[in-house]
């Protein structure tokens, strides 16, 4: 197989994996509404069962870079497809809160494979970093978007168990196709060109600490908004809506995030990364603040603005790792990046349950605003500290 064909196939399956990763993780936050009604249990008690999934999602991302060095990235991504499929089928058989929690944890472990491995594979095989990161981000965003709508539809028409069975079968089929059509990792150092040019800096530790802090805070805003979105719409839209319509509105909000990622991909190839970071980060607290203070249509507008900023930030963060970290360290760097973002953001689930029980989603969204402000302050400091050497000035994202 030619290197170009291998790269095209690899990127295609990495995109599919990104969509499935976000889809399967966000089935439960919508299905839980139907499960709560069936079991006569509270939303707060059931949503807490997914804590293990999101903690595992971050915790197990840390060793994936090292494991990939031994098993191979292609093999590990194949395990991702199969493991997620089996976990979804297991969830469909759960008959107690304990079994739901166990299978959600298993799903989190296998879901943890994608981001450090898929991101590294994408960066390795791409010729145009920003464009392909933007497209990949759209796939992930659409996976999250359709999770709400599809889950609501399946839960309403076929029952909540079907909402896990069908995606599980899709994951298994995608895994079989991937292993059959992508025979190897390809060149581990990637293609030569601008997608792999590293920007030298004079204060690497300062930049790392600022970036790490923004990643942790961004993980909290990402998970608070994506996990709670269906229930926020359910409670604060101003009128009682059927589950299918709630899921459809959540999907619409996510779609705006997808459009932002396409825009961010184009900007990454053309403009200064730290400046993009600053401009984008201010939108998170603005949108979340509007959603916290308002209801109805203005609340939806705030959620759209916040979701666009949250998902656009994912593209910028991945581009920073690709631009500032040498190729031989990227898999491990992506592991650390997602470990910081996803492990700490596993606290989002109990935080949502706690704050929602105290004062509803106004308090939940206010907490998200605080994390958004932290991200904005980090972006300002990052811009001031990101001093590059003269030879990097010719790079489009220097």
Taking only the tens of pLDDT, the chain with its 398 residues reads: 788 899 889 999 999 999 999 899 989 888 888 888 877 777 777 877 888 888 888 889 888 888 888 888 999 999 999 999 999 999 999 888 899 999 999 999 999 999 999 988 998 888 888 888 888 988 887 887 788 788 888 988 998 899 999 999 999 999 999 999 998 877 655 554 444 556 766 677 888 889 889 988 888 888 887 777 777 777 767 565 666 676 667 677 777 777 788 888 888 878 888 888 898 889 889 988 888 887 777 877 888 888 888 888 888 888 888 888 877 777 788 888 888 877 776 677 788 888 877 877 788 888 889 999 999 999 999 888 876 544 443 344 33
- Decide: 25 and 53 in contact? Cβ < 8 Å: yes
Contacts of 204 (CB under 8 A, 6+ apart): none
- Which are the contacts of 208, defined by CB distance < 8 A and separation ≥ 6? none
Pick from 260, 252, 257, 225: nearest CA to 371? 225
For residue 55, how far is the Cα from the chain centroid?
Answer: 14
E strand or H helix that includes residue 257: helix 243-268
Long-range contacts of residues 267-270, Cβ cutoff 8 Å, at least 24 apart? 267/130, 268/129, 268/130, 268/133, 268/134, 268/315, 268/316, 268/319, 268/397, 269/128, 269/129, 269/130, 269/131, 269/396, 269/397, 270/130, 270/396, 270/397
Residue 389: its pLDDT value, please?
Answer: 44
**For position 96, what pLDDT does the model report?**
86
CB 116 within 8 A of CB 65: yes
CB 74 within 8 A of CB 184: yes
Task: Give the orientation angle of helix 3-25 with respect to helix 162-181, to 10 degrees.
Answer: 170
- Within 8 A by CB and 6+ apart from 82, the residues are 171, 172, 175
CA distance 198 to 192: 11
Largest Cα separation within the chain, whole Å, is 64
Residue 174 to residue 180: CA distance in whole angstroms = 10
Q: For 160, list phi and psi in degrees, rounded to 5.
A: -70, -25
Angle at 354 between CA 353 and CA 358, to 5 degrees: 115
Task: Give the span between the Cα atoms of 128 and 287, in whole angstroms.
Answer: 31
Closest by CA to 364, choosing from 225, 219, 241, is 225
Residue corresponding to tokens 């297991």? 90
The yes/no answer on whether domain 3-394 falls in CATH 1.20.1250.20 is yes
Distance CA 300, CA 278 (A): 24
CB neighbourhood size of 3 (10 A): 11
- Contact yes or no for 88/107 (Cβ under 8 A): yes
Asked whether the beta carbons of 375 and 214 are under 8 A apart, the reply is yes
Q: Are 246 and 152 in contact (CB under 8 A)?
A: yes
What pTM was computed for the model?
Answer: 0.75
CA distance linking residue 252 with residue 236, whole number of Å: 16
**Residue 388, strand partner residues:** 201
Three-state SS at 96: coil
pLDDT for res 105: 94
User: Rounded to whole angstroms, how far apart are CA atoms 216 and 281?
Assistant: 14
- Give the number of other Cβ atoms within 10 Å of residue 26's Cβ: 24
What CA–CA distances, in Å, run from 397 to 272, 273, 277, 312? 4, 5, 11, 16
3-state DSSP assignment of residue 192: coil
Burial class of 274 by CB neighbour count within 10 A (0 to 12, 13 to 18, 19+): buried
Boundaries of every domain in the chain = 3-394
| Predicted pLDDT at 387 | 62
Query: What's residue 106's pLDDT?
Result: 95
* pLDDT given at position 247: 65
CA quadruple 125, 131, 132, 133: dihedral positive or negative?
Answer: positive
Q: Residues 117, 123, 124, 127: what is their CA dihedral angle, to the nearest 10 degrees?
A: 150
| Of 237, 181, 196, nearest in space to 6 by CA | 181
CA distance 292 to 187: 48
């Amino acid at each position: 197989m030619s290197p170009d064909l291998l790269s095209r196939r690899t990127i295609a399956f990495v995109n599919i994996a990104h969509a499935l990763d976000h889809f399967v993780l966000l089935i439960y936050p919508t299905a839980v509404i139907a499960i709560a009604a069936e079991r006569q249990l509270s939303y707060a008690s059931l949503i807490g069962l997914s804590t293990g999934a999101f903690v595992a999602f971050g915790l197990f991302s840390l060793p994936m870079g090292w494991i990939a060095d031994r098993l191979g990235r292609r093999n590990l991504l194949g395990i991702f497809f199969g493991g997620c499929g089996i976990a979804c089928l297991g969830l469909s058989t759960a008959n107690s809160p304990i079994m739901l929690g166990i299978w959600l944890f298993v799903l989190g472990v296998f879901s943890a494979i994608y981001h450090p491995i898929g991101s590294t594979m994408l960066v390795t095989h791409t010729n145009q970093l920003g464009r392909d990161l933007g497209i990949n981000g759209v796939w992930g965003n659409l996976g999250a978007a359709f999770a709400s709508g599809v889950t609501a539809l399946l839960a309403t028409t076929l029952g909540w168990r079907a909402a896990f069975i069908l995606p599980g079968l899709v994951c298994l089929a995608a895994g079989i196709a991937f292993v059959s059509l992508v025979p190897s990792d390809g060149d581990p150092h990637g293609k030569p060109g601008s997608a792999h040019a590293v920007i030298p800096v004079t204060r690497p530790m300062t930049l790392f600490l600022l970036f790490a802090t923004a990643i942790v805070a961004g993980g909290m805003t990402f998970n608070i908004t994506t996990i709670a979105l269906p229930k926020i719409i359910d409670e604060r839209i101003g009128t009682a809506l059927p589950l299918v319509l709630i899921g459809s509105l959540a999907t619409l909000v996510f779609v705006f995030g997808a459009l932002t990622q396409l825009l961010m991909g184009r900007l990454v190839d053309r403009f200064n990364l730290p400046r993009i970071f600053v401009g984008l980060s201010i939108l998170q607290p603005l949108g979340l603040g509007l959603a916290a203070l308002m209801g109805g249509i203005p609340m939806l507008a705030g959620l759209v603005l916040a979701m666009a900023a949250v998902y656009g930030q994912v593209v910028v963060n991945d581009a920073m790792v690709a631009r500032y970290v040498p190729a031989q360290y990227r898999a491990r760097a992506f592991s650390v990046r997602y470990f910081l973002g996803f492990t700490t953001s596993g606290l989002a689930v109990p935080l949502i349950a706690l704050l929602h029980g105290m004062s509803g989603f106004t308090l939940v969204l206010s907490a998200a605003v605080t994390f958004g402000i932290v991200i904005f302050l980090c972006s300002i400091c990052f811009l001031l500290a990101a001093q590059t050497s003269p030879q990097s000035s010719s790079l489009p994202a220097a």
